[in-house]
Structure 1
């Protein structure tokens, strides 16, 4: 995002100081036209538009979901309500920065400033209005109004506040002297936006969901007219008092305040914000597509659109007035007594009167006065510039410095600490210096009067300060003034880190923070306090090494696990998750060798090999498999072989067709075993058997038959059994019983099928229009009555129905 003018000024703060920064800000806006302040609900920002150029000149970060906005009468502050975090942001218009935040409100929305700028009135969602003192930014009173108040305006005489209550269908009228509701004016449902005419005689209220605008006579506080506008939302009055502009859902209506009739419409959809420029020539309307439309009020045509933030709202009076903005300069601003200073008025917006105070008790009403300062000191100067639209005061603290020769001296917040640490230096020089040059002893410097410096490294530092003014300069040096120590950070290296036993290793301390003590632990029970020790490892293994480094500040430890690897000849060994199972068999092999091998060669017994340390493989075929593992490292190699370690057996499986039918029933059986069996033993459940792979068998008698297949491959076999797999049936005969046959509603009954003939399908009818296909259903009768129940059963041989009339009797 491009830096706006305000942020460019801020970048000068460190070099030029706050006084110069403020001066440049005021000069940069000399001759400026009014500004429009657009709250961007979705971006949590305010866009500042120069109405002379219709360009965004600044973007200000405010609170969460800013909505309402109001500019104070002298244009120095903008108040923004933030619904998302229930606060108000106070913006300084000279710097376009948030200078204060008023917290602890309740989803504030509408906002208005009193004509004298001393009070702020804010609508809160919890049916009250907050009254805020703008000098302290504190809530001084709360006024209970209608439900969910939204729009709010103050009459030009400052005596009354009108509040639109969205869900009460009313407008509350507050007496500003007592902060109490004087009366409530009944309007149409959903009053939202509200505006008062410049002469204060009429208040216009947009009734958002009732398609009209109510016109209130402020003398009688009664509705004197109703103007039809489709879904009106927000309202603004032209400064000449002759027109009122109302946004609707599709367009903007122009109401003649003399006749309270619509005289024109112009393009423009749903909007939350609308305001008229102080000269009445331009209308600014927010659009939900992140733009503001500018409309020529003479032609009612859109002349331009301005890109702003996300979902602009600007609910309220968002254009600043044209009262003067005070500013001035002086020359010289520093010198020896007596000092004659020429002041120059640089105020904008055409002031006609001036009031100067020079800080020494003297004052002037000239536009560009000259004043003599007789005594040494710092003087605060103020200028109040006014015209018929209002006034504004500029104050420059300690602006004029009448000096003698300075004598340098300073103090600091601390003189000793752990690096990195900050030291705040304070200038205590006498003689009113105007320039400062610090040297902090570490190569860094500063020209601030009271700098804060970070010492990053341990050391002892000499600090000096040189001060000057127009009379002369002075230097103060404090040798060895700051002592910075830092916590050590332990670190080390070693060479070699791997080898055959016995292994001699050289350790090197690489710690930071200048440690003076060392404590090594080599992982084999041995230690050392040397900075760079040599250590011999006698046995194979992996060793954890730790170093604790200590200085006068503190200590620190670093630990490196399995850092040193001492190896011997490996001894191969392994395990697996399974050694026996049906094909296909998945086996996870795990190396458990000792001696720290770094290479592995597996032979899996079926011609396959692997060089992974740990891996998984699948044995797809039946058989006994001998597995071997060879491991090696720089010392040697070793092999372990496990004969017939993996045993894979056949997995028996079969299917049949058909599995149900009338006697005699001929069934074809199909072997689907895995593992390539070579022999088969079938048992058909009726005493018959077969050794064929895919036999055909005839069942002569009605019944349910359990079939078993044993598949054999070499020395391995596996059996699968399917219970009641074959069903040889006759035509079924339906019958049933139940848990109860009578009772009070609601009555729960469990029905039990007692049909013969091996049915495979069931259809129940419960006599109340409901049915079920469950063999033994549970059913609830909700109403009293006698119910006839029937059951139809079926199988491959046929079907049969039994009906029991008035079988179930349900009473109330």
Structure 2
């Protein structure tokens, strides 16, 4: 029906415009939302990294990934008593700066209101900005803020004229109004709900025209004309509330009514993703009490605020529901269900907000079972054999189950642990398998007799000295250490020693460092012969070492300078009491350097020396007399003395002293003969 226009006093108009200017604020740079994803299609589970590229300096972001359910988080009460008195039939909108404006309604004394209230903190606190706003007091009307900045008010119940179906529009924040349709096509009603959609259309839902309604109407020309959509799936109702979300969906909440008697207050939540054509119930029982005539708004950050209403008493409580998939600037999201997803981003700052949607942006296909595959850094070697296995499966597995063939397994769901090192302690041939799985199923790769482990060599030379505790390590600090495995560990440091092989236990992560010393050290006599280098060999990260072979090199120039043949080079080891000669043999001659190997029962201070041999007899083994690793007394932790009550292995001290004297005599005689022969 038509409404008689009423003039507005200039003073009231001035105050109303001033109040609205405070609400809207000064014009600024409203963000322009934009984004991209690093991938847009793939098999589930599909993880997408989204990147915000919005302009206009946004300070907040609300992401909707297209798989939100609107029921995964509870409603949270913001306050149980807002500053305004309890009421029904009011309406509300969200301003561009994120503030909430609540208007009109009927209070507990059945007084029709035309006051205006403002909240700038998501409904926690409220301020009355206009106690008498100038427009006719009424209730049950619906209002929306359009994308172009205009406001549209529809229908309602005027205290002086009953129910209405007219549509009015304001382009100046409500200062002046124009009737765009005096009879909009839908029946005159109050207590209906309306939303402004992202595409600029307006949707009206339900209400009371003498009985509860569940019809849905849509206008695409700011309310000038209307088209009826199919009846909604929710029951007939009035006094419900609704909001339009940045993802393009409509959320409808609460009300009073039903499709049959008795009528009742409601607290269900319904959602439409096609402009109101079809509806799905997403929550049959929200956390707030069933009520009639609440009002609600969608905030820039993606949350929904519901305010007041009537559940037997007039309410002034405020509730909030978080609905956004993320409020991070650049979020990562994983899609677990196949489908096509529309992604929306709403960017906002103090000057306003802007949303953009990419329809059908993400396509997720059904997961495909992986194809299991793996590699190993070695497949043969002597016991103990450490093997690094690496997963090379395709198809995005999420579970890895390893079987190493010796009764050991490694199972994990952590991608960081899908590669594993396993040590085979016993000689044999082993079959290895990897089962890679994801949501689509498993796949197994089996390699029969993949790993061959040979027995450790049997030692043939056993030094007859008694290992004792070596002096505390006094070499230089710094980095360096061995790297490698049972087939040889590279030795760090600055010495002539390049590699060692060891026998023992717990040596998988062995580190050996060789440091050059200019002298044996305080309290230690010089090593026999002409020293080329004193080397302090220090092992670390092991349990027990029972023997080792040491590989080292001596420059050919040094041998020539001192008149030594390669067979006259001997490595000595200081056992804590005397220097003991180690079996030493030549393993290579490049012309510039000669490479040697020596067998030792353990690591300690060592000396590489030249010993002139009398005549042509050479007592050190040759390259064809390769000696496996010695297996005498262990030196781990660091060395082990002979058990109490048992004889110490090796020569007695007297015998050792006699042998040492004979060696010195031979050295002296040989030296004199050489001096006579060479004229030195």
TM-score range, shorter chain: under 0.3
With a CA cutoff of 8 Å and minimum separation of 6, indicate the structure with the bigger relative contact order: 2
User: Greater helix percent: which structure?
Assistant: 2
Give the alignment's TM-score, normalised by structure 2: 0.23
Please state which structure has a larger fraction of its residues in strand: 1
- Higher-Rg member (1/2): 1
User: What is the TM-score with the length of structure 1 in the denominator?
Assistant: 0.20
